[in-house]
Every structure is written in C-alpha cells, then in structure tokens.
Copies of this chain bind each other. A is one copy, B any other.
Amino acid sequence: MVETVTMSVAEIEAFALKALIAAGTTEANAASLARSVAATEQDGIASHGLAYVPTYCLHVECGKVDGAAVPELDVIRPGLAIADAKTGFAHPAIDLGFEWLLKAAREQGIAALGLRNSYNCGILGYHTDRLASHGLLGIGFTNAPASVAPVGGKKAVVGTNPFSVAVPGAAGETRILIDQSASVIAKSEVMKHAREGKAIPEGWALGPDGEPTTDPDVALKGTMIPSGSYKGFGTALMVELMAAAMTGATLGIDASPFSGPVGGPPKTGQFFIAIDPELSSGGAFSQRVDHLIEAIVGQDGARLHGAERFEARVDADKNGVAVNAAIVEKVKEWADR
C-alpha cells in the first residue's frame, strides 16, 4: 500500500511553483513549468508530475538548466519561427513561441515553431493539447539522449523520441490525444526493475552486444527496443529529424543525460506544427473526427488515444489527485528551503 496525499490541481501548481522558485528559478519560468506539472498530475501521469520536480530543482541548482534564462523568439518567415530556450526550461520558451504560433497558424493556415538549446519538455501531449484547446490541430516532436539503436545495430542513435497529435473539438476540448514514445517501454521501467532486482520481459531491451536480454542491468548498458522494430525506428528517426536536425538542436547522440547532475545542458529540441482544421477540411473536420471516434469507442475492448487522460482530468477536478506521500516529502524539501 502506497501512502498518498490528496491535493487539488491548484495546490499542486502552487507547491511546484514554490519548490522551483526556491531552487533558483525565476518566477516567470517557474510559473510556466508549475502549470505543466499540475496539468500532468491532473491527467493522471504521476511519473512526470510532482515526481519530476526534485530533478528540475536539482538541475537548476547544478546549472544543467538556467532557471533565469530569458528565451528569445526569431520569426524567420510568416509561418516559421525558432525559439531559443537559452539552456533554460523548455516550457517558458514554448509559451513564448505559442503566443506567436497560435496567431500565425490562423493567418497562414499552417505554422511551425522549432526550439533549440532546450531541455526535456515533460509530457509532450501537454503542449499539443494546448494548441488543440485553441481549435488547432497540434503536432509535436521532442528528442532525447540516444537510447534506441537502429534495427540490426548495437549502438544507440536516437532517443525514445515521442511524437504527439492533438485533435481539437468545437468547444475548446481535445477529442483525441496521441502521445507516444518510440520504445516498447519507458527506460524508467527498466531502471525500476534494476532497483527492485527483477528480470525484465524479453522484447523490452537489448544488451550492449545487440542481443535480447532480460537482465535490467545489462539492458541499461544496452539499448531500448523500438516499438514496431524497423518501422518503430523509422518513427523515432522522423522525430529526431524534426526536433533536432530541423531546429539546429543537439542530436540525441551528442546530448547530455536528462537525469543526474552531470554533463551540462542537454540543448535538445522540440518542433511543433499547428494547422487550422476547419480551413483545410472545408468545415468537414468535426464530422470526420466524430465518425472516427465512434468507430473506435464503439468496439468493446478498444481504447481511444487520450481517453484515459481526459477521464483523469475530469476526475481530478472533482476529487483532486492522490499524490505519493514520499514524493510530496521530496518536493517539500525544496519548497521549504
């Protein structure tokens, strides 16, 4: 039985804000990040909510992230801008860029925002979801330190690189939220098995020799298996191209780790595309989305991408979020400094 503390979404946000500011983050930067932490907890994704705040705080303290960075936006063409996160958190740079992106997508029909000198952006779907809440189809890509090898190879070339697509509804709600990483399983699951001394199932990871392994310690020296094998690597490669090559950010092969205090800023990247679906579809978009959703949720046993988060979202508003008490204690250590 895990001990929990039930907090409202607003309480989570205020709590994260306090800890981040105490660690040396400016109030503006901390506010941006705290909003995402609260939204992530609200969506039921405990792994990337308050649990991540101590890492964020540590990274500000050790200089892996510049908590006082002021991001800069460079609008290169009417439909294309780059936000330089200046080795600060991704979130304030994305905020700055989205202000422009939302307007540009309406005016141009489609617009794109790239980020460089950035950092782990937390849950990617949090950001695309924001685009959808403004009536735009949002597409996102984010890269990460390399942990996935090309099929047939042994050395990691790309990260577990997620992509996300958020589908807007008529009333500011998100209808479908695809948000998936390239690996069969998150690396954190392998770490957990290593800590607990448990074998991992075959199919999760390869050892440094490129051979399948069930030993989590061997797996952590090796690579994560892409979901869908050769095609899964292709998807991860697409994300690497978009988030790093297209933005001039650091490739996963060269990026410092997202965890731990060493290696300096990872300087990885993100890429977001926003498109006005009512314009492009000639008004047919909502009907198509309704029909697709019905075809999925009308089948027993089938899950719609995003449904779990949307349900958690409503539930958290009513009942608050049960946060692991040990994590609350860890965040408190930072907040009470």
Q: When A80-B109, A296-B150 are in contact, do A232 and B241 touch as well, CB less than 8 Å?
A: no
Q: Are A112 and B77 in contact (CB under 8 A)?
A: no
Q: Which residues of B contact A79 (CB under 8 A)?
A: 78-79, 108-111
Q: Are B107 and A110 in contact (CB under 8 A)?
A: no
Q: Would you call A198 an interface residue if the criterion is a C-beta within 8 Å of the partner chain's C-beta atoms?
A: no
Q: Are A154 and B299 in contact (CB under 8 A)?
A: yes
Known interface pairs A153-B299, A251-B288; 10 further A-B residue pairs with C-beta atoms within 8 A, sorted by A's residue number: A77-B279, A79-B111, A81-B109, A149-B302, A150-B296, A150-B304, A163-B238, A228-B229, A247-B280, A248-B280
Q: Which residues of B contact A31 (CB under 8 A)?
A: none
Q: Which 9 A-B pairs have the closest CB atoms?
A: A80-B109, A228-B228, A77-B109, A153-B299, A152-B301, A153-B302, A248-B284, A79-B108, A150-B302
Q: Are A237 and B176 in contact (CB under 8 A)?
A: yes
Q: Which residues of B contact A226 (CB under 8 A)?
A: 228
Interface residues on A, range: 35 or more
A/B interface sample: 30 pairs, CB < 8 A = A76-B280, A77-B107, A77-B108, A77-B279, A78-B78, A78-B79, A80-B108, A80-B280, A81-B109, A112-B275, A150-B303, A151-B302, A152-B300, A157-B292, A165-B241, A167-B241, A176-B241, A178-B237, A228-B229, A228-B231, A228-B232, A234-B305, A237-B292, A241-B289, A241-B292, A246-B280, A247-B280, A253-B291, A253-B292, A254-B291
Q: Which residues of B contact A251 (CB under 8 A)?
A: 288, 291-292
Q: Are A299 and B234 in contact (CB under 8 A)?
A: no
Interface flags for A195-238 (1: CB within 8 Å of B; 0: not) read 00000000000000010000000000000001111111011011
Q: Which residues of B contact A111 (CB under 8 A)?
A: 79, 110
Q: Are A281 and B246 in contact (CB under 8 A)?
A: yes
The residue in A150, A229, A234 that gathers the most chain B C-beta atoms within 10 A of its C-beta is A234
Q: Are A296 and B157 in contact (CB under 8 A)?
A: yes
Q: Would you call A240 an interface residue if the criterion is a C-beta within 8 Å of the partner chain's C-beta atoms?
A: yes
| Bound CA span A163–B228, Å | 14
The residue in A137, A155, A245 that gathers the most chain B C-beta atoms within 10 A of its C-beta is A245
Q: Are B80 and A301 in contact (CB under 8 A)?
A: no
| Bound CA span A64–B324, Å | 59
| Bound CA span A227–B79, Å | 34
Residue in B77, B254, B279, B305 whose CB lies within 8 Å of A76: B279
| Bound CA span A77–B276, Å | 10
Q: Are A273 and B237 in contact (CB under 8 A)?
A: no
| Bound CA span A119–B176, Å | 26
Q: Would you call A135 an interface residue if the criterion is a C-beta within 8 Å of the partner chain's C-beta atoms?
A: no
Q: Would you call A52 an interface residue if the criterion is a C-beta within 8 Å of the partner chain's C-beta atoms?
A: no
Residue in B76, B275, B285 whose CB lies within 8 Å of A109: B76
> Which residues 231-279 of A sit at the B interface, judged by CB distance below 8 A?
231-232, 234-235, 237-238, 240-241, 244-248, 251, 253-254, 273, 275-277, 279
| Bound CA span A157–B231, Å | 20
> Which residues 269-328 of A sit at the B interface, judged by CB distance below 8 A?
273, 275-277, 279-285, 288-289, 291-292, 295-296, 299-305
